[in-house]
Chains A and B, each alone.
With several copies, the nearest count.
Chain A
Amino acid sequence: MSTDFHLDSVVQDDCLVIRTFGYVNNMGGKEIVKCFNEGFDHGLTKIVINLAESKVVNSIGISYLLEIIEKLMDKKGKLVFTNLEPAIEKTFSIMGLFHFAEHAATEETAIAKMGE
């Protein structure tokens, strides 16, 4: 029953892959940005965020992700979300996130997209 947020991350083919677990609320959004910033400060500008294990999000948590988009625009980086629940995909779509980020079914297809 636990939905407390945590995440892990790996660097693969020059991409920072962030995998989230649990509720992306205020705190969850901040943690994602913190993890991104650590990678970004090391020069990583290809970012994959895998939300497979986050079945619940709220708009406060997601609004933090706009900070990632801003920073990546400056460096011509790329952000791809993967494993989105249909309702979460719709949420991102309504917020206009896909004007600035992409989505893919899996991490593999996301990483493949990075070259495009």
Chain B
Amino acid sequence: MSESVELKISLPKIPDIELVALEGLQRLASHLGISDDKIGEAKILATEAIINALEHAGVDELPVDIVFTMTKKRLIIFVQDYGKGFQPDSVEEPIIEKKLGTNKKRGWGLKLMRTMSDDITIESDEHGTKITLIKNLA
């Protein structure tokens, strides 16, 4: 039976607050003996999910809630906001050649999350967005 640790954080919408969550990931990983290399991509995933919730939810008073559940083998990143929601399928796939020369250089978060995670689920409606990312660590 492998040990599972859970860290929950409810973040206010202020600059760089996602670093609190990353410090948490680091501590969980150290405890379970997971190397910095393996946790690196998990940090990118968490960062992108959290900054989207902070920036795009559109409700400044409500928090962004995060749950990390980690075992030696697997990390589940759950990020929930209580904002306006969006339709993930209608977000255009970013391509660097098309971005160059335009003013729209952003739009990489979802692509990074889809490519780096081992599984991704997005539930979004007018009450907010829940994103669940799975990252294998073993």
Asked if A87 and B106 make an inter-chain contact with CB atoms under 8 angstroms apart, the answer reads no
Whether B40 contacts A86 by the Cβ 8 Å rule is yes
What are the residues of chain A within 8 A of B43 when measuring CB–CB?
Answer: 56, 87
Interface residue tally on A, bucketed by range: 20 to 34
Instruction: Let me know if A97 is at the binding interface, CB within 8 A.
Output: yes
Bound together, the chains give a CA A67 to CA B104 distance in angstroms of 11
A52 interfacial contact with B, CB 8 Å: no
- The answer to whether A66 touches B116 (Cβ under 8 A) is no
**B19:A94 contact, CB within 8 angstroms:** no
In the complex, per-residue mask of B78-111: 1 if CB is within 8 Å of any chain A CB, else 0:
0000000000000000111101110001111101
Contact A60 B51 (CB under 8 A): yes
Residues on A with beta carbons closer than 8 Å to the beta carbon of B26: 1-2
Within the assembled complex, what's the spacing in Å between the Cα atoms of A75 and B104? 22
Residues in chain B near residue A62, CB distance under 8 A: 108
Indicate if B5 sits at the interface (CB-CB under 8 A).
Answer: no
* Pairwise interchain contact B41-A56, C-beta atoms closer than 8 A: no
Taking Cβ atoms with an 8 Å cutoff, the residues of A that contact B are 1-4, 23, 25, 56-60, 62-64, 66-67, 69-70, 73, 85-88, 90-91, 94-97, 99-100
If A1-B26, A90-B44, A96-B96 are given as contacts, then 16 extra A-B residue pairs at C-beta distance below 8 Å, sorted by A number, are A3-B19, A56-B19, A58-B47, A58-B48, A60-B51, A62-B108, A67-B105, A86-B40, A87-B37, A87-B44, A90-B116, A91-B112, A94-B108, A94-B111, A97-B96, A100-B100
